[in-house]
Each structure stands twice: as C-alpha cells, then as structure tokens.
Structure 1
C-alpha cells in the first residue's frame, strides 16, 4: 500500500509541475491558459457608428454594429437573441443622412437601415437581395451616391 501512495504522490507532483510549466509557457508567449474574448474596431467610424469584431476563446468571429456613447463602444446590432453576423459590409452614409449596413446572417445577406441617429433606430431593409459580397458592395456604393430625393422636376 505504501508504494501505491508514493506512486500517486509522484504523479500529483509531476502534474503540478506540468501545470506550472504550461502556465509559464502561455504567459511567455503572451497568452493565457484560459483565453477570453477580444474585440476591436475594424471600420472607420462613421458619424459615431463603427463595425466591431469580437473573437471568442473558441476562435469564433462575430461582427457587431457599435455606437459610440460617452467614449465607449456599445453593440447595437445584432440584437439579443438574433443570429450572429459572420461577415459585414459598410456602413455607408445615405444621402438622407441615415446609415446602411449589410450583414451575412445564416448564409444570407441582410441590409439594415437607420431611420435616425438613435441606436435603436435600425430596421431590417428587405428592399435589396444580394447573392454574394460583390453585389452587396455594388448596392452599398450605389446607395451612398444616390440622390436624396426621387421626385422628378418639371421644367
């Protein structure tokens, strides 16, 4: 029985040394044993709006539309409980002063348009359909340069 206890003691000692060495190696390489999510702004802020990317500990990438309030970035879209965004295009400023953004949600591009400066003013805009990223960029470019009014002028 004494040899069995010595065997377990030796095993626990080696396990403790291994954990300490792994933690030191992770620290030396600039990481941790338990990674936490990190985020950053990946677009040029446009009127207080920007695209924020978040990488979780499981190396999953999620995009958000964020608003700058009081010097901090607050996620506005996607809303709680909605599917996460795997890719984003935009934001672009519309001629009427609003913002348009496109997001890849569940392998389908969706467009979101703001109706004002309030963070809660974004709504799903199903005016456009886009099969791929190229078409999304075309729509965003055309929308940002379209005239503000569609009324025809009589001469």
Structure 2
C-alpha cells in the first residue's frame, strides 16, 4: 500500500499515513521532551504530513516543533508546491540518488496537511545527501554510527 493519493483515492493513503504516527509515538516515548525542530524527508509527502499533522494535533499549533519538509533537488515537488501554494507536478529530469524520494507530484492528502502544518520547505542536492550518509556512518566525538541510505539520511541536512 502506498501513501500516494489523488482525487477519488484518498481513504487508503490516509490510513497508511495514520499508521506512520506509530513511529512518532515510539520516538516521543524515548525523548525526554518533544523536539523544538523537526526535519523530515519527503517524496510525495505522506510521512512528512503524518509527522507534521500528528505534532499539531498532539501538542497544539502553539507548542509543536518548527517543521521543515526536505525534498531532493531533482524531484522537489513539495518545495515547488510551497512556492506557488498549490500542488505542482514537476518535470521528470535527471534521476536522484535519493531514489525513494524521487516523486514528481505531491499526494493530495499530504499536500492538504503540509500546506497548513509545515513551517518551511528546503531542498538537498545529491552530493549533499551522499555527504550526509557518509557523515552519519563515520561520526566524530564518540557518537554512534548510523547506517542510512541517501533517502533515509537526507532529513539530517537541516541539523
């Protein structure tokens, strides 16, 4: 099942997105306090919308973290949608190394949420994603190594 939605096909993707909130419940259980800032990578926006929406509902609009959506520069459909404030389908171009995020049109359900709940949108170039992946795998100062692919680590760019 996918979190991609379009007019007339919204129920199943909405349920998939609701399932993502289990990740947040677990993360919040392990944190001493809610985060002040959240960066989430996005393809069609399903995971990002679930995170942004869940924090808004759980903590309220005045107490939720500052929320940034991170798009690959070669498939920045959410970034471009934010620039125009309506869903934008971007042209297929050169592939990105962030293959799991290589999406060219936002999910209808996700855009409805992100257009209201996201505070910022940013893009990450392929070279930056590879650098992030390498930095996470080879940390400094005694931090644990994190094994993540280019798609999984790209949210760390903002940190």
For normalisation by structure 1, the TM-score amounts to 0.25
Larger C-alpha radius of gyration, 1 or 2?
1
Whose strand fraction is larger, Structure 1's or Structure 2's? 1
For normalisation by structure 2, the TM-score amounts to 0.24
Question: RCO higher in 1 or 2 (8 Å CA, sep ≥ 6)?
Answer: 2
